[in-house]
Amino acid sequence: MKFDTRKKELLINLLSLVVFVILWQGVLILTREGIFNIPFIRLRDIPTPVETWHALLGSLFTHINGPNLTYGIYNHVFASMERVIEGGIIAFIIGVPVGIGVGYSKLIGNIFNPIIEIIRNMPPMAWIPLAIFIFVSGGSIFIVFIGVVFPIILNTIQGVRSTDERLLDAARTLGASESMIVTKVVIPSAFPSIMTGLRIGLGVGWMAIVAAEMVIKSPVGLGYFIWNMGDLGRYAEMIAGMIVIGVIGYLMNISILLLQRRFIKWVD
Amino acid sequence: MVIDIFSGKKIKIVKNNKQPIGCFHGIAGFGKKIMIKIPVYLCERKYPAYFYLFFRAIGFIYIREISQVKFTQSWVAILVKSILSPHTAQASRKLSFGCMHTRKKRKPLNSVIRIYIMLTREIMNNSIKILSVVIFVIFAIFLAGCLQSNQSPAVSEPINLVKMSGQEMVQKLGTGEIAGFIMWEPYPAIAVTKGIGKNLILSGKIWKDHPCCVVAYDQDWYKSTNNSDEILKRMALVQLKSVEYINNAKQSDSKDHNELINFTMQFGGLTDPAAANLSLADVEFVYNTNIPDTTTFIQKVQDFGIFVPEKWNQSGYKNASDYANSLVTNKYVDWAINNKDANLSGISLKEPVTIRYGYLINDIHELPFYVGWQKGYYKDLGINISIAEGAPFQNGAFEMQKGFKGNTIDIGSLGIPPVIIHRINSNDFSTDDARVEVIAGMNNEGSIIVVASNITSLKDLRGKTVGYPGPGTIQQVLFLMAAEKEGLRVSS
């Protein structure tokens, strides 16, 4: 059989996933039979892929037992996604102008750079206690905002600074005003970079939301879900939730990449 | 001469009328004809004319820098001329109208059919791009769904239980972030004495004399210790003595009353004696356990769907009472009652043992343990208490998983539902590592639903957030039972 490279790559990718699942199952079977053991780790408690799959199917939708309503993963995904999108939008609205200002004007750059350089080194998780104390609600959106805004700012600055000097000269030659240069030259030129910032930022934000939901309390959210399931001793559901988190993070990344290709034609 | 504005190289043109020749445009005003190549993909889209003019200007600067063309006029003048010349205007118009492509003539079609054909062709050609759009739409639907669910607090809206610590509950009830909470004493008493909330339902109203916290031991410890039965008998005796002391000292005219209030304030982390008094009044301290009540609890936990079904099948218990019988042992309490007045030196253990004891944080329900510890009842019987690693625990579920299952606790006190739930859910039935057994009681009742002042019944809590210590705790089960009576739904 003849494969072209693309198909070959896909095949290898799929195989690696399959091998990983088989290894997972195999190690657990060996552990449960008592053949394989790692001290200080309770490997026996980890659910097998099969159990995880059943747990995922079982907890996908909302269950009602008498008065007890258990939200499905579906609802939790909604809730987390909503927070990430809201935080991402706010970060985009604030981050892009700041980035353009800092990148384009030396003066603004010198004013804001020290602040940005210090604050961006505080991880989003370090803001969680502050968010708990100062926000009556929406603390987790704030954490997402912190996670998203700095990649956007930094990438915007980088994109603005790498604008082709010749394009700027050309625009100036043609008598464009500063505001026209920014809107017609700098922003289109920096746009791919801004999108990259958004993509990286949403990745960070998605990780931050899960951590934030574990600490900042709300009835729905994937972070809350996996913590809750752990509390109930339902480890299979917990792992299923973790996998859903990973898959959604991956999908978000991919879809932004595709959007980038769809809408920004002028960059290869 | 043709210059590619991106690479700056001079290129030759092969003219072929059948293929689109790309977008070439001559700049007027030079001695030689200079052409600038604009990449074809820019021409494919119908950008406005100024876009192309802009590109042409860039090309002009390029030419100025790299070409050997000698300029007889100032280059600004050339540029202005070139823009204003009729040649340029025509070319720009052409550019903006579709880039000199050769086009086939199309048959006139019904516009609907044409749109349909265009759409299908688009979909066929751009499946990946469209996939991305679809994913985007799904995101949008997600967003819309969330917004909608937030906007309409329907009548059937559930009460949202949210896990938090006792301090958080009091603080958040004060700020209005939560509408109420269900918690063990002393937190309800703190909220009430501070004027933050009011008692809505005492757990005795939900279920009269329901068991709450119990003393339990770890099966692994039991098996690996020689005289474990003897130790457990003494543990039960201490429990009995402490409970009797507390029930006696609870009376305000008792001579031990002040001492008990001090113990309560220390153990509960209280600063206000009024809160200590209030919380003591709400808790009923007992030392015995009973199987029927335990059975009821197990039945409730099962009805509420908290057990993992596969684990329940693995456990091999036929029904709730079967499980309750294997969970609760009364023989140690019976021994304690018989030896209540025996001489201490006669029944004290010959060789003192050290017990790793686990308990819950600031839980007034477990005051008998603190009293026995502080008043030296354990020591009198030859038992040294060492606080287990990780204690005091945030809730019973955590104590079961981290302490009993992780073998850092020998004996501990916690609510009975965590014991019931995690002996099934967290247990590995091949080693029975989470198997614990209940030997004595701590208290009955003593959990309270506290709400903000504008709430008058459980129904008012619909769609609001209520704090609770965590899933699988007695407070969760009690709240579910209260909601069941009123026909409400609770999400957790």
CB interface of B with A, residues 46-65, below 8 Å: 54, 57-58, 60-62
The residue assigned the tokens 């309503």 is: A69
Q: How far, in Å, CA of B287 to CA of B332, rounded?
A: 11
Mutate to test the interface with A, among B42, B43, B54 (most CBs of A within 10 A): B54
List of chain A residues whose C-beta atoms are within 8 Å of the C-beta of residue B143: 81-82, 85
B397:A173 CB<8 A: no
Q: Is residue B177 within 8 angstroms of chain A, CB to CB? A: yes
Q: Which ranges of chain B have pLDDT less than 50?
A: 1, 5-6, 13-34, 36, 38, 40-45, 68-69, 71, 86, 88-105, 148, 150-155
Per-residue pLDDT at A218 exceeds 70: yes
User: Whole-angstrom distance between the N-terminal and C-terminal Cα of chain B?
Assistant: 75
Q: How far is the alpha carbon of B259 from chain A, nearest alpha carbon, in Å?
A: 36
List of chain B residues whose C-beta atoms are within 8 Å of the C-beta of residue A227: 163
In order, the DSSP letters of B165-210 are -HHHHHHHHHHTSSSEEEEETTHHHHHHHTTS-EEEEEHHHHSTT-
* Residue-level pLDDT at B111: 60
* Residue-level pLDDT at A23: 93
Q: Is residue B161 within 8 angstroms of chain A, CB to CB? A: yes
Q: How far is the alpha carbon of B111 from chain A, nearest alpha carbon, in Å?
A: 26
B149:A78 CB<8 A: yes
pLDDT tens-place string over residues B338-364: 988 888 888 888 888 999 999 998 888
List of chain A residues whose C-beta atoms are within 8 Å of the C-beta of residue B78: none
* Residue-level pLDDT at B432: 83
State the helix-helix crossing angle for A106-119 and A139-161, rounded to 10 degrees: 140
Residue in B42, B76, B164 nearest the CB of A217: B164
Q: Which residue of A has its CA nearest to B176?
A: A136
Q: How far is the alpha carbon of A80 from chain B, nearest alpha carbon, in Å?
A: 10
Most confident of A135-139, A216-220, B285-289: B285-289
For residues B263 and B370, is the Cβ–Cβ distance under 8 A? yes
B421:A68 CB<8 A: no
Helix (H) or strand (E) run with residue B445 in it: none
Q: How far is the alpha carbon of B256 from chain A, nearest alpha carbon, in Å?
A: 39
List of chain B residues whose C-beta atoms are within 8 Å of the C-beta of residue A136: 175-177
* Residue-level pLDDT at B49: 55
* Residue-level pLDDT at B175: 84
Residue in B129, B162, B472 nearest the CB of A262: B129
B480:A258 CB<8 A: no
A232:B129 CB<8 A: no
Average pLDDT for chain A:
87
Q: Is residue B148 within 8 angstroms of chain A, CB to CB? A: no
* Residue-level pLDDT at B43: 47
> Is B403 exposed, middle or buried (CB count within 10 Å of its CB: 0-12, 13-18, 19+)?
buried
The residue assigned the tokens 């399959």 is: A18
List of chain B residues whose C-beta atoms are within 8 Å of the C-beta of residue A265: 41, 45
A231:B139 CB<8 A: no
* Residue-level pLDDT at B135: 77
Q: Which residue of B has its CA nearest to A257?
A: B132
Nearest to B183 by CA among B199, B198, B166, B197: B166
A265:B62 CB<8 A: no
Nearest to B202 by CA among B178, B222, B183: B183
CB interface of B with A, residues 235-294, below 8 Å: none
Complex ipTM value:
0.79
List of chain B residues whose C-beta atoms are within 8 Å of the C-beta of residue A32: 430
Residue in B61, B133, B431 nearest the CB of A169: B61
Residue in A70, A231, A265 nearest the CB of B472: A231
Residue in A63, A136, A173 nearest the CB of B305: A63
A219:B162 CB<8 A: yes
Q: Which residues have C-beta within 8 Å of that of residue B394, sequence separation ≥ 6?
A: B165, B360, B361, B469, B470
B306:A232 CB<8 A: yes
Q: How far is the alpha carbon of A118 from chain B, nearest alpha carbon, in Å?
A: 31
B61:A173 CB<8 A: yes
Residue B184 bridge partners (DSSP): B447
Mutate to test the interface with B, among A231, A247, A263 (most CBs of B within 10 A): A231
Enumerate the domain spans of chain B. 2-96, 111-151, 159-206+449-491, 213-444
Q: How far, in Å, CA of A139 to CA of A145, rounded?
A: 10
B472:A232 CB<8 A: yes
Q: How far, in Å, CA of A171 to CA of A186, rounded?
A: 10
Nearest to B57 by CA among A196, A176, A136: A176
Residue in A42, A67, A254 nearest the CB of B483: A67
List of chain A residues whose C-beta atoms are within 8 Å of the C-beta of residue B60: 170
CA A152 centroid distance within chain: 13
CB interface of B with A, residues 105-144, below 8 Å: 128-129, 131-133, 135-136, 139, 142-143
Q: Is residue B426 within 8 angstroms of chain A, CB to CB? A: yes
In order, the DSSP letters of A81-144 are HHHHHHHHHHHHHHHHHHHHHHHH-HHHHHHHHHHHHHHTTS-GGGGHHHHHHH-SS-HHHHHH
B24 backbone dihedrals φ, ψ, rounded to 5°? -110, 145
Residue B413 bridge partners (DSSP): B215
Helix (H) or strand (E) run with residue B275 in it: helix B273-282
Per-residue pLDDT at A177 exceeds 90: no
Q: What angle do CA B359, B364, B365 make, to 5 degrees?
A: 70
Count CB neighbours of B313 within 10 A.
11
B305:A68 CB<8 A: yes
Residue in B60, B131, B308 nearest the CB of A234: B308
List of chain A residues whose C-beta atoms are within 8 Å of the C-beta of residue B42: 266
Q: Which residue of B has its CA nearest to A80?
A: B146
- The answer, as to whether pTM is greater than 0.80, is no
* Residue-level pLDDT at B54: 62
Residue in B41, B132, B175 nearest the CB of A265: B41
* Residue-level pLDDT at A90: 92
State the average pLDDT over residues A90-104: 91
Per-residue pLDDT at A254 exceeds 50: yes
Residue in A171, A219, A230 nearest the CB of B160: A219
